[in-house]
Each structure stands twice: as structure tokens, then as C-alpha cells.
């Protein structure tokens, strides 16, 4: 909800961008702190990165009137847009918020095509097989382009 609250007003911010951004937030956090932020599992799929609980969580938020979903035109495509209906109650620690905001700011200008082109070159995704879990431990195989440690974060 926090990521949506920060980025959902951008015309290109649909489900693909959201799922990719969640992946980078989690993997960036793991790279810095060696622990999981959300305990989500991500799958490498033909359409990009898929958090396995995304459908379940988004449906629950929609049913509880905390999230609004609709399909919207975006150039010659239809994207799946999610809008928060509430202001999220942020319960993140300062170090968690720092990684989350860093990741949002780095990726917010992407659309589905550009973030997918970027994400598929991240070593944990390269190493994963199609339709299999992306292993967090491979975050330590990242090169300078993807490593949060070498991208002026610290």
C-alpha cells in the first residue's frame, strides 16, 4: 500500500511495474541487511516477476475497500492499475523506509517494458529457471549496475 500511495498516480504505474518494484525493494533490502523485508516469494515468469501472494493480498484489500482496481488504456495497451483508497499506516523502521524510498525513486520512471528489460538482467533473475522461485541468496552475485552497495546508497 505504501508503494502504491507513492507511485500509483503515474500513468505507467501498473501491475508489472508494481511487482517489479516490490521485487527490487525486497532484494535490495536483503543485499544490505541479509534478512527478508516482506517474506514474499517471487517467481520468474514469462510476463516478468510474480510475487506469489499478490493476487490473494490485492483481492483482500479490494474486498476490504482499501484498494481500487481497474484496467486502463496506456498507449496501445491495457494496464492493470491499483489505487489505494486509504492512507497507509506506515509501520516501517527508518532503515526499511530508506531502502523502500531508494528503490521507488530509482525505478519510478519506468513503464512495464523498460522495468522488465532492466529486471531480467538482474543476476538473481538470470539464475532462476522459468516458473521457479527467485533465490534471494543470488543477490550477492549482482554486478555494479544492480548492486545497491555500489550505487551510492551507503
| Phi-psi category of residue 72: left, alpha or beta, with phi > 0 → left and psi -120 to 50 → alpha | beta
Confidence (pLDDT) at 70 = 97
Confidence (pLDDT) at 149 = 87
Q: pTM for the complete prediction?
A: 0.95
Checking 87-92 for CB contacts under 8 A at 24+ apart, the result is 87/5, 88/1, 88/2, 88/4, 88/5, 90/2, 92/2
φ, ψ of residue 85 to 5 degrees: the values are -100, -5
Report how far residue 89's alpha carbon sits from residue 133's, in angstroms, rounded to the nearest whole number. 30
Structural domain count, the chain: 1
Confidence (pLDDT) at 152 = 63
Confidence (pLDDT) at 153 = 63
**Distance of CA 147 to CAs 29, 56, 129, Å?**
11, 30, 21
Q: Give residue 128's domain range.
A: 2-150
The percent of residues in the chain predicted with pLDDT above 90, rounded, is: 92
C-alpha cell at 81: 492499475
* 74: β partners: 77
Report how far residue 7's alpha carbon sits from residue 14's, in angstroms, rounded to the nearest whole number. 10
Amino acid at each position: 500500500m505504501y508503494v502504491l500511495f507513492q507511485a500509483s498516480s503515474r500513468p505507467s504505474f501498473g501491475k508489472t511495474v508494481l511487482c517489479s518494484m516490490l521485487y527490487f525493494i525486497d532484494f535490495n533490502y536483503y543485499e544490505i541487511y541479509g534478512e527478508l523485508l516482506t517474506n514474499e516469494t517471487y517467481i520468474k515468469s514469462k510476463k516478468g516477476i510474480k510475487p506469489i501472494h499478490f493476487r490473494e493480498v490485492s483481492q483482500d484489500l479490494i474486498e476490504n475497500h482499501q484498494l481500487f482496481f481497474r484496467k486502463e488504456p496506456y498507449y496501445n495497451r491495457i494496464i492493470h492499475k491499483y489505487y489505494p483508497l486509504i492512507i497507509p499506516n506506515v509501520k516501517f523502521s527508518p532503515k526499511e523506509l530508506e531502502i523502500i524510498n531508494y528503490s521507488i525513486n530509482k525505478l519510478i520512471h519506468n513503464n512495464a517494458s523498460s522495468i522488465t528489460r532492466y529486471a531480467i538482467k538482474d543476476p538473481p533473475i538470470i539464475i532462476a529457471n522459468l516458473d521457479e522461485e527467485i533465490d534471494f541468496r543470488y543477490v550477492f552475485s549482482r554486478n555494479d549496475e544492480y548492486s545497491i552497495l555500489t550505487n551510492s546508497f551507503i
